[in-house]
Structures are given as structure tokens and as C-alpha cells.
Amino acid sequence: MYRRSTPGNRPWQWTPSKRTALSALGGLVTTVLLATAHSAGAAPAPGAPSGRDGMSRAFTRAAAEFEVPRDLLVAVGYGETHLDGHRGEPSQANGYGVMHLVSNPKSHTLEKAAELTGDRGSELREDTAANIRGGAAVLRAYADGLGLDRGERRGIDEWYPVVARYGGAADIRTARLYADTVYTLLAQGIDADVAGGGSVTVRPRAVEPERGEYAAAGADQWSAALSPDYPDAAWVPANSANYAAGRSASISSVVVHVTQGSYAGTISWFQNPSSRVSSHYVVRSSDGAVTQMVRDSDTAYHARSANSSSLGIEHEGFVDNPSWFTDSMYRSSAALTRYLCDRHGIPKDRAHIVGHAEVPGNDHTDPGPNWNWNYYMQLVGGSSGGGGGSVQLGFPSYDTLRSGSTGAQVTAAQTLLNQQGHDAGTADGVFGARTTSAATSFQTGRGLPADGVVGARTWTALLSAGTTSEAREGSTGAAVERLQRALTAALGRTVSIDGRFGPTTAQAVRDYQSGRGLTVDGIAGPATWSALQAGR
């Protein structure tokens, strides 16, 4: 195994057998070009190297130890994670750290790294320097397996088949997509702010990767396999174990996901029969490229209770790192969503275009707080207000607002105050004197403390205002959406705002009733509505 070396005992001095020569190609295929990879913006995370052992130094040391080109090592990590280790949390494919060392039934680069370096799995998962070293060790082992000698290892173009193997894809086209991403990053250069402070830089260079067997899986094969449902997408089918043929319900919604992994890695994962997950479409961060993996008419496994009635769109990236959510991605995804809504008769509003976290019975948080719903719905060309107008009213939680507050929730409060006849002025998202006066007037009318601050009680009363027709399991529509919004504010926890009164909403109603001394029946009748509208 590759252990930390001592002078005179350097593992890279082993002489492997000469590899089979790779065919040389001129230039990089332009169909997989990425947007410039500057300013990753990754948030600081525990376990990141700091000071003398900063991330850049960790890459330099690992590259020298295993004779892997340093810039190639960085580009592999950036393509996988934007150099964000995500505090040791796993990706969708159960990969860890900056170098995305994977442990799943089909890929075991984490275990391979442990074997090669002697580091424990916990170190490789949680310590950034160890993780980078583990990635370098795996790349070097693959290079040895392919027979790259010491001279060839110095040339970055010779590493193309090694990188393709590191991606773990069984499909040769997906493997090429992964490797082309890395070499495009090398061509463009990288300047990434990283956890722990500082940055990691790769200067742009000319690249002519020697693709060997992967040359046959070029752009012509991708363009020949076009999506059967969306003209602007490629078609790469998911493994048949990861979705069900046909549907048991009509299509009524679009679910927005974040992959918790890279574009090529997600495509590979959906081709892996052990994953038992899939989505209809996958969108790339850098340029908005779209790949369809499950037919619209089939049931992808992406959103539990909504699988049979929804279309799933995965977006490359990680929930906690906004650097993945590019304008190209938003625009491409919005065009896809607009097309799907028109094709399948789905209303273009937030009751029918929802996040994974908003689907009843799910435990996911994507697309998360960094996803710009207002901008996305503007691009889709529909309503961001959950079917109730052009202003977003539904949120996973409701902040306490007061004079000086700004943002989308202020706009929502101003809209609701105006609707109730309390003049908050233009709904501009700025909580000023006029909004304070309107909030105070509303509170006085509802018997609430008249302090002009929109807290949980005022939110509950505002959000529930309107008709009070009985709602119970099986009910649907705008009244149910109002109920779900009001319960979210009243209970201080997210109640999915989808306009469908299912078991989760019924439980939320029971919890509310129990906490307010009401009859606990899970039905939103006159007494429950009255309590909500009083801000109880």
C-alpha cells in the first residue's frame, strides 16, 4: 500500500509494465464545455486544513507523494465537489470529502484509499488533507493499473483514462462525460475560494487528452441519443431497477431536486441498479445541459408519495453550496419546467412546482434555502405565490419581521395586509413606517398585541384569513394551501404547502388542536379556523 514514505523508500519509484499506447486526439470536444470555474464560494467547514496545511498545500503534497499532476488532482476535486467537503456528510452516491471518495455496492474508492494510504475510513471522510491524499492514491493506483510509466505520468493529457475510471461510471459515454468535465476545467482554469480561508488556483492550459477507448464515445453518440420527450435534452436511460414502467396517476406537478453530487456522477448513480433512485431529468450547473433518464410516461423513484403524479428534475450541486446554482442552470431548468407544464397541463405556480422538501412524507431538504424560488418562477413565467397570485406566500418557516426588515417575506406580509384592507403601501419588500402602521391596525382588529411586529401569532392570523369552509383528508385547493401556510407559522415547523390535505396535514391539524385546547379530530372546522384567524 502507499504509506507515508521515508527517504530512499518512495513508492512511486516502482516501475510498472508499459501500457498500451493511447490514440492522440487534437483538442477537446466542445459539446461538454463548462462555464468558467472561478470563485467557487464554498462555505467553511470543519475538518478543512488550515494555516501551513491549507487546502492548496494539501493538494501539492499529495500530488508530489503519488506523482499525480497537481492541477489534475485539483480539477478532479473541483468537478466533484467545488472543493467543498460538506463537513464529512455523504453525497447521494455515498461519497465523501473534497475528492468524493465513494463507498457503495458498485464503487469502493473510499475503501481503496484506506487500503492504499493506511488511513482510517473516518479520517478519509472527515479530514480534508487525508481525503485529498486518498484521492491521489486512488488515481495513482489506476494509473499503475493502466501501465503509465513515470515519464507518461508527468504529462497531464496521458491521465484521461485514469480520470474516466475514477468517475466510477459503467457506461462509457458517462465515463467520457466525467473525464471531459475535468479536462475542460484544466483548459479554463480554476480560482476557488475554499474552506478554512485562502484559495486554490489552476492556471488555464492547452489540453489534448489522449482518450483511447473513450474516443469512440464522442459527441456523435450523445447527439444521436436525443430525449424522446424534451427536444433540448440528451437521452441516457436509468437502470430499469430504478423506476417503474407506466404511471398509476396523472401528472400534476414538477418536483425540484438538488443532486448532492456532480452531473456525471448523478447520471452514473441512476444507471446503478443498486441505487433504487432516479429522476426524469438532470441539469448541469455550468451550462444548463439537460439529460433525460426516465420517460415522462414512466414513474421515476425521486419523491416517495409524489412519484406517481410528478416529474422530477435533479440539479447538479449540493444544497449547502450556492456556487452550483448558476444563471445558466436556472434558465435551462425553467425552460424545461415551462415546457413540461405546457405539455402536461400543469399549472405554473408554487402549488404545482415544488421542492423535494415540500412533498408530503419526505425527509429531504432540497433544493434548500439557497435556491432562488422567486427568480426561478419568474423565469418559468408563472406564479410564485402557490396558486394565490404573483407573490410568494408559502415558506418553509416564517421569520419575525419588524421595521427595517427586507426580503420576500416582507413582500408577502405587505400583500396580505393590503388584501385585508390595512394599507401597507406598495409590496416592495421593505418594512417601513407604513407597513408598521398597517400591521398595528391589523393586530388591533384581531385582538393581538398591537406592536407592529409580524411574529408567529400575526403571521398565523394573516395567512389563515379568508373563507372558513371545512377541510379534511381528501380536500384540495386554495383553502388547504392557506391552512398549510397558517399551520407552518403557528406550529413553527414546515407543513408542506401543496394544496392537498393528506395524512401529514391532518397530523399538523391535530397537533395544533391539541396545543390550543380544541377538539382533536384532524379536521379544520369552524373552531379551528377561528383559532387560527385569531392568531392563537
The pLDDT assigned to 484 comes to 94
Q: What are the two backbone dihedrals, phi and then psi, of residue 43, each rounded to the nearest 5 degrees?
A: -75, 150
The pLDDT assigned to 362 comes to 81
Rounded to whole angstroms, the Cα distance separating 451 from 441 reads 10
Strands lying side by side in the sheet with 233-235: 233-235, 290-292, 281-283, 310-315, 253-258, 353-355
Q: How many helices (H) and strands (E) does the chain have?
A: 18, 13
Rounded to whole angstroms, the Cα distance separating 361 from 485 reads 17
The pLDDT assigned to 382 comes to 66
With contact defined as beta carbons under 8 Å apart, do 295 and 263 qualify?
Answer: no
Express each pLDDT in 6-45 by its tens digit.
Answer: 323 333 322 233 333 322 223 333 333 333 343 333 333 4
Segments of the chain with pLDDT less than 50: 1-48, 50-53, 219, 223, 386-390
With 0-12 / 13-18 / 19 or more C-beta atoms within 10 angstroms meaning exposed / middle / buried, residue 318 is: buried
Phi-psi region of 76 (alpha: psi -120 to 50; beta: other; left: phi over 0): alpha
The pLDDT assigned to 418 comes to 85
The pLDDT assigned to 41 comes to 35
Rounded to whole angstroms, the Cα distance separating 416 from 451 reads 17
The pLDDT assigned to 53 comes to 46
Find residue 226's DSSP bridge partners.
Answer: 234
Q: What are the two backbone dihedrals, phi and then psi, of residue 63, each rounded to the nearest 5 degrees?
A: -65, -40
The pLDDT assigned to 49 comes to 53
Concatenated DSSP letters of 58-70? HHHHHHHHHT--H
Concatenated DSSP letters of 390-417? SS----SS---B-TT-BSHHHHHHHHHH
Rounded to whole angstroms, the Cα distance separating 227 from 294 reads 10
Residue matched to cell numbers 422538501: 357
Rounded to whole angstroms, the Cα distance separating 343 from 397 reads 32
The pLDDT assigned to 16 comes to 30
Residue matched to cell numbers 408567529: 456
The pLDDT assigned to 420 comes to 85
Rounded to whole angstroms, the Cα distance separating 27 from 10 reads 35
Contacts of 475 (CB under 8 A, 6+ apart): 501
The pLDDT assigned to 221 comes to 53
The pLDDT assigned to 198 comes to 85
Grid cell, residue 529, equals: 379556523
The pLDDT assigned to 24 comes to 27
Express each pLDDT in 88-116 by its tens digit.
Answer: 899 989 999 999 999 988 899 999 999 99
The pLDDT assigned to 218 comes to 60
| Helices of type H across 168-294 | 172-188, 219-224, 263-270
